[in-house]
Amino acid sequence: MKLSKTLLSFFIVMIATVALAQNPLNFGSNIRTADPSAHVWKDGRLYIYASHDEECQEDFWMKDWHIFSTDDLINWTDHGACLSVDDLSWADNFAWAPDCAYKNGKYYFCFPVGTGFKDRVNPKNSTKWMGIGIAVSDSPTGPFKDAIGAPLWRAPYANDPCIFVDDDGTGYIYFNGGGDYMVAVLNDDFLSVKGELKTMDMGGYKPKREGPWVFKRNDIYYYTMPEDNRVLTYYTSNSPLGPWKYHGVIMEQEHQSNNHHSIVEYNGQWLLFYHRWIDTGDACPNRKRQRQICAEYLFFNEDGTIQPVKRTEEGLARKLE
């Protein structure tokens, strides 16, 4: 039976739409991914540095980090695990949200990791500790080697870091330090901090949060975060050290579950990467939803404020007007 040109065109469009459907992103592997850190490096490709949820894992006991890259936002290359807790001498668990930075021909992989046990029933019995390490590679895809053999500091407890490199090459590391909004200036080697850890002025509004992401656009610095670990919100400043002004919601929460994100400009379009909790049916009796990385377009108003973003099934396949 011959198909009419109209019907054939319809099927071609439908197949293309399915191929382009992005949420969750199709990395070409079956692993569960979360906490995307997206960067565009000098080769023009977009890279995502991600944490890895092991299938049906107990709590958030995570063991390694993975890298994915693309040059068209459709076809992704899975570069595999770039670092594991097995490669570390000072921690053995909690391979949580990473970040990466580039300077002077080297790639610096910034990772939170820990030891001990978090007792969610009786918190006073918890022994969990987390710190931030730095691993280095000549390649954006690794392999990365622990460059310090220890955390950047041991106190305060710190997790989910973000490294922002300003136009002058100065590196800043932002992190949740003992529950406060903190930043440190990195030394030129990116393997140590310069001076004291600083608590930032957030303009009087400091809700619970994790996973900051800092970027710069048109001389405005943006401090974005999952407020209450769920709702993506943001501040702005004219300095990477603040003080910061709160603006409100970028993306609402979903399923009363955590979110973690990054924001990057790629080929002239700003993109928001985040994770969703996808229903996996009975695959894991202890966890009906599991995390997978997704993406949406991000837009700014003329005054630099961010337009709220809604989760979509189409993601980056959505037609822009």
pLDDT for res 21: 55
Q: Residue ranges of the chain with pLDDT lower than 70?
A: 1-21, 321
Could you report how far apart the first and last alpha carbons of the chain are, in Å? 37
What is the pLDDT, as a whole number, of residue 4? 52
Collect all residues with Cβ–Cβ distance below 8 Å to 13 and sequence separation of at least 6: none
Which amino acid is residue 43, in one-letter code?
D
Euclidean distance between CA atoms 196 and 185, whole angstroms: 8
Alpha carbon 183 to its chain centroid, in Å, reads 17
Are the CB atoms for 148 and 113 separated by under 8 Å?
A: no
How far, in Å, CA of 142 to CA of 145, rounded?
8
HEC string for the chain: CCCCHHHHHHHHHHHHHHHHCCCCCCCCCCCEEEEEEEEECCCCCEEEEEEEECCCCCCCCCCEEEEEEECCCCCEEEEEEEEEHHHCCCCCECCCCCEEEEECCEEEEEEEEEECCCCCCCHHHCCCEEEEEEEEECCCCCCCEECCCCCCCCCCCEEEEEEEECCCCCEEEEEEECCEEEEEEECCCCCCEEEEEEECCCCCCCCCECCCEEEEECCEEEEEEEECCCEEEEEEECCCCCCCEEEEEEECCECCECCCEEEEEECCEEEEEEEEEEECCCCCCCCCEEEEEEEEEECECCCCCECCCCCCCCHHHCCCC
Residue-wise pLDDT for 71-102, tens only, equals 999 999 999 999 999 999 999 999 999 999 99
Q: Which amino acid is at 315?
A: G
Those residues whose C-beta lies under 8 Å from the C-beta of residue 9, and which sit 6 or more positions away, are none
Say how many C-beta atoms besides its own lie within 10 A of residue 14's C-beta: 10
Answer yes or no: are the C-beta atoms of 88 and 141 closer than 8 Å: no
Task: Tell me the per-residue pLDDT of 289-303, one tens digit each, with 9 for 90 and over.
Answer: 899 999 999 999 999
Which residues, in sequence order, are CB contacts of 278 under 8 Å at separation 6+? 24, 289, 290, 291, 292
CA distance 230 to 183: 22
Length reported for the chain:
321
